[in-house]
């Protein structure tokens, strides 16, 4: 008898809620369709490349803040400089093993046939997507308000393919490579990012009116992917008009997807509009690895004066390290770090020269540590 009554008791204790008692869904919101996989909380190794110029100064700032907040990461440091011909194999192996890297800027010599180590890293690890988030920080005055732009840039081909040769003396040919595979891959990343982060619009930046085959293929790929995301608005803009619109009405842009070279120009322009390269976080991601660094460099890497005076702005790399913590599935630590940085900027007492202040790097770091919850 007891066995027979058990299902009856379950039905009595789990009666369905009447429909008129259930909350009505809000038509303006969608249900959560993506949940990140929770991490196990174990400390994670991160490859650290201090780099050149201000790199050691700002990476040291990150190390100090991570230690102060007891973040579950530890760093494997490698001294790499931009004048090397190749990225040392042990560095590549470390990133492959750890899957995550934090780096300062690596200076690329002008001319002379020396290839960029930054480009080498992206190709070697297939870091096909560069992401730079350009947004207004509360309390930091800028020419434009309501700026919140995410520039997603194809990272492995285009003009950065490095395919150049001298045809005859005095004539150099440089090849721009655009493939359907890479164009579709970056378009999918941009639309997926927009969908998961409740962004409303994706804008493809191009010059297909002149480069009809190369940029035409990029646009064709974006259009095909856009059809799979009907809830996201899609539009296109020629790169020269894009630059003009950025400096006049930047608030119209949301997520921007670009080929390699245009993305570099657009990201640095957007960064300048939203507060400068010293406050813009960024990262380079692929299927298996990620490298986080300052979102837009614009020449700061080789600024020896900032290094000598110890007045480099650490905010960009601190915010990039918050992106890294989220990537490592430590969102609470990322929130603490971001909140502390934004609080320091908003108060305005400790700012470096590029933000209108006189503070040193260490003074900004100490202020961030003091504001950690």
Task: Decide if 239 contacts 205 (C-beta within 8 A).
Answer: yes
User: Residue 323: is its pLDDT beyond 90?
Assistant: yes
Q: Determine which of 114-118, 133-137, 220-224, 243-247 has the lowest per-residue pLDDT on average.
A: 114-118
Angle among Cα 361, 49, 135 to the nearest 5 degrees reads 55
Spatial separation of the C-alpha atoms in residues 317 and 340, rounded to whole Å:
14
Q: Please report, for residues 177, 192, 249, the alpha-carbon distance to residue 160 in angstroms, rounded to integers and kept in the order given.
A: 9, 25, 29
Task: Decide if 206 contacts 260 (C-beta within 8 A).
Answer: no
Domains (ranges, CATH) in the chain? 41-129+280-372 (3.40.718.10), 143-162+171-274 (3.40.718.10)
The confidence band for 36, taking pLDDT boundaries of 50, 70 and 90, is low
Q: What is the pLDDT of residues 38-96, one digit of tens each?
A: 556 678 999 999 988 888 999 999 999 999 999 999 999 999 887 788 899 999 999 99
Spatial separation of the C-alpha atoms in residues 368 and 373, rounded to whole Å:
10
pTM: 0.84
pLDDT for residue 13 = 40
Mean pLDDT to the nearest integer, 182-207: 96
Spatial separation of the C-alpha atoms in residues 158 and 145, rounded to whole Å:
33
Task: Decide if 301 contacts 52 (C-beta within 8 A).
Answer: yes
Spatial separation of the C-alpha atoms in residues 252 and 36, rounded to whole Å:
29
pLDDT for residue 319 = 95
pLDDT for residue 108 = 75
User: Residue 169: is its pLDDT beyond 70?
Assistant: yes
């Amino acid at each position: 008898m007891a066995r027979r009554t058990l299902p009856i008791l379950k039905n009595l204790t789990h009666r369905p809620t009447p429909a008129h008692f259930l909350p009505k869904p809000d038509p303006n919101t969608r249900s959560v369709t993506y949940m990140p996989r929770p991490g196990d909380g174990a400390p994670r190794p991160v490859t650290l490349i201090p780099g050149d110029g201000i790199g050691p100064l700002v990476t040291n700032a990150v190390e100090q803040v991570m230690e102060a907040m007891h973040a579950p990461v530890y760093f494997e440091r490698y001294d790499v400089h931009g004048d090397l011909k190749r990225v040392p194999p042990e560095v590549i192996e470390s990133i492959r093993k750890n899957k995550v890297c934090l780096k300062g800027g690596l200076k690329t010599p002008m001319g002379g046939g020396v290839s960029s180590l930054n480009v080498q890293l992206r190709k070697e690890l297939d870091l096909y997507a560069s992401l730079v988030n350009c947004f207004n920080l509360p309390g930091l005055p800028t020419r434009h308000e309501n700026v919140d732009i995410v520039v997603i840039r194809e990272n492995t081909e285009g003009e950065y393919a490095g395919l150049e040769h001298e045809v005859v003396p005095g004539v150099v040919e440089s090849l721009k490579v655009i493939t359907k595979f890479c164009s579709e891959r970056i378009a999918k990343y941009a639309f997926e990012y927009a969908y998961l982060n409740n962004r409303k619009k994706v804008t493809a930046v191009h010059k297909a009116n002149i480069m009809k085959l190369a940029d035409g293929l990029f646009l064709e790929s974006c259009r095909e992917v856009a059809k799979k995301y009907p809830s996201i608005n899609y539009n296109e803009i020629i790169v020269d008009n894009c630059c003009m619109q950025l400096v006049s009405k930047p608030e119209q842009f949301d997520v921007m997807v670009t080929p390699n070279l245009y993305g570099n120009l657009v990201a640095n322009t957007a960064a300048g509009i939203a507060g400068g390269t010293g406050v813009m976080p960024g990262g380079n991601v692929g299927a298996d690895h990620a490298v986080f660094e300052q979102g837009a460099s614009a020449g700061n890497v080789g600024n020896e004066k900032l290094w000598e005076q110890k007045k480099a702005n650490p905010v960009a790399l601190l915010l990039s390290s918050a992106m890294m913590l989220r990537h490592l599935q430590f969102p609470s630590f990322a929130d603490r770090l971001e909140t502390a940085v934004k609080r320091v900027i908003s108060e305005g007492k400790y700012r470096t020269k590029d933000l209108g202040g006189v503070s040193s790097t260490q003074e900004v770091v100490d202020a961030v540590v003091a504001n950690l919850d």
